[in-house]
Amino acid sequence: MAHPGCFATATLLAAVPLLALNLSEPDLFVAGVTGSSGSGREPSLSTHHPSRHSDLYSYSALMHRHGPEIVACAREASGVHAQLAFVPHSGPFARGIHLTLQARLRAPLDTAALIAALRDYYADAPFVRVRDSAPRLKEIVGSNYALLSAVSDGRTAAVLCAIDNLNKGAAGGAIQWMNRMHGLPETAGLTAPAAGWT
């Protein structure tokens, strides 16, 4: 079993409902910001937290190495082959990913209806919480939970997602898969709340 990477997890959580429910066109525009712990394990100036402090910049725009993974997993989960335009950013914090996905709606849909569709889609997902307000990293860092929200102007959907890249986007997600594979409760060992002070 292979668990999608952290940017892939956040993007898929935002994209799959839109695609699977046929709510949006398959052209997805994504901008995501990751902390220094999500920038790989090789030491460099771009992964060194003191160099990133108080800075924000994009990298690998439109050619990030996880782009093909996201497209393949989205197709597997939704049955739709999406086109992805992904611009990742390096943020001035240690943990977490905050991601915004935009897509053109197939039919007019207001914000309340879009959020309701996400809630219905994730009704049985114990670690996905859909809320009315925009997610914040402090609400999920240190936990296996994902926070989603959405906004619509009637033509375009913006789905917002926040996860902890080291938990939901890595080890926590892997443990969740292990629990399922071994017949354990999916939530075993994973229900600790966010620390709130990171």
The residues annotated with a catalytic role in the active site are 6
Residues constituting the chain: 198
Give the CA distances from residue 119 to residues 39, 57, 126, 132, in Å, rounded to whole numbers and listed in that order: 31, 32, 12, 10
> DSSP labels for the chain?
-----HHHHHHHHHHHHHHHTT-EEEEEEEEEEE-GGGS-SS--TTT-HHHHTT--EE-STT--TTHHHHHHHHHHHHS---EEEEEEEE-SSSS-EEEEEEEEESS---HHHHHHHHHHHTTT-TTEEE-SSPP-GGGTTTSS-EEEEEEE-SSEEEEEEEE-TTIIIIIHHHHHHHHHHTT--TTTT--PPP-S--
CA neighbours closer than 13 Å in the CB half-sphere of residue 137? 18
Angstrom distance (rounded) from CA 64 to CA 82? 16
